[in-house]
Amino acid sequence: MSLAQHTATLHTGAKMPLLGLGTWKSKADEIRDAIVSALQTGYRHLDCAAVYGNECHVGEALKEALALMGIKRSELFITSKLWDTMHDPDDVLPALKKSLADLQLDYLDLYLIHNPYAFAKKDGQMMPKNPDGTIIYSDIHYCDTWQGMEGLVDLGLCKAIGLSNFNHKQVLDVIDKARIKPAVLQVECNPFFRQEKLIDFCHSHGIVLTAYSPLCCGDRAWRYACDPDLFGDPKLMDIAKKHNKSVAQIALRFQVQRGVVAIPKSVTPKWIEENAQIFDFSLSEDDIRQISSLKTHRMGIPPAKGPDNKPLLDDHGHPIPRDKDHQYYPFNEPF
C-alpha cells in the first residue's frame, strides 16, 4: 500500500502526506512496534513534539526501522514542535537541536510553535507551576518567537515552519510580520469540531491545515461525561455501515477529502493499518451534510488544575481552561 501519493502541497513546494502517525502519549515500550507497523503499512509521515517526552524513543525506533526496511530519510515527512518554555528567540535553535538529536535526524520537514502563549523557564520544567498549581507564564510575543523559527530555515535545519493552536487573527499577525510565512496550522479538528471557517481561511492564505485528535482522543486525561462519543454516534455509524467502513475511517476520510492532513495516534498495528484504508472510497455530499450537522463540541483544551492535580470546574460544572487568562490565549475567538 502506498500512502505517499496522497499529499497536500505546502507553499514551499514540499509534499506533506495527508495521513500521518501521531505520537502523543505513545509510551517508550510501544513506539518501536507502532513505527515499524506504520512504515510497513505505508505511512511516511510522523508527528512528534518535545513535550510528548518520547522523541528519543521515536528516534531509536526510526533508526532501527529505516535500516530494517531500507527506507531513505528523504522519503519521510517528520514534524516536531517548539514547546512553550522555549519561546525566547535565543532558545529556539537549542530547542530544535535537542529534538533533532533525540530523533537522530539532520533536519525536520516541519517545525511548529506548539502554542501562541509562552511559559516561564524554570529548572528545565515543561510545566512550571506556582504553589497553587497554576502555570507560571511568560509574556514573550509569538511574533518574536517566529523570527527565531525563520532562522532555522535559513540554517537548513527545517524545511518549513508553522503554527499550532493559533486562531486566525494570530495567524494573520504572524503573516503580516513574517519574512517566511507559515506553511501549516495544526489544530483540533474532528467530526464534532469541524473548523470549516478556519479551513477556508487557511486555504485562502496558502496554509495547509492539520487535524490533531481527528478521532477525538478518547484516552485524553480530561475526558468528561458531557463529551460526545465518536464511535457510538448514530449518524457516523450509519455512514460507516453504508460504506462498509469503520467510524474511525469515516472520520479520517472526512478530513482528507477536505484537503486536511490527519494525524491519528495509535500504537496498535491493527488500528494503524485500518486507519490507512481511507483512500479507496469517497463520502457523498449527503454524508458530508450529515457529519456537518453534528453538534459542535470542542474537547482538546486542557483544564486548569488545583494543588491536588484535579481539574477546576466553574459554577456549571464545566472545566475551566488552563490558559484562559493569558493575553495570547487563542480560543476566545470563534476560529
Q: Catalytic site residues?
A: 52
Termini Cα distance of the chain: 36
Grid coordinates of 150: 525563520
Buried/exposed 103-116: b ≥16 CB within 10 Å, e otherwise: bebeebbbbbbbbb
CB of 218 closer than 8 Å to CB of 211: no
User: What's the CA gap between 185 and 166, in Å, rounded?
Assistant: 7
Long-range contacts of 318-326 (CB under 8 A, 24+ apart): 318/226, 319/222, 319/224, 322/135, 323/115, 323/117, 323/135, 323/137, 326/117, 326/137
**CA separation, residue 63 to residues 16, 32, 43, 80, 318 (Å):** 21, 10, 15, 17, 44
Strand, helix or coil at 167? coil
Q: Which residue has the cell 475526558?
A: 223
284, exposed or middle or buried, with CB in 10 Å at 0-12, 13-18, 19+? exposed
**CA separation, residue 128 to residues 138, 221, 288, 300 (Å):** 11, 19, 43, 21
- Pairing status of strand 161-164 against strand 261-262: unpaired
**CA separation, residue 93 to residues 86, 145, 323, 331 (Å):** 9, 11, 25, 28
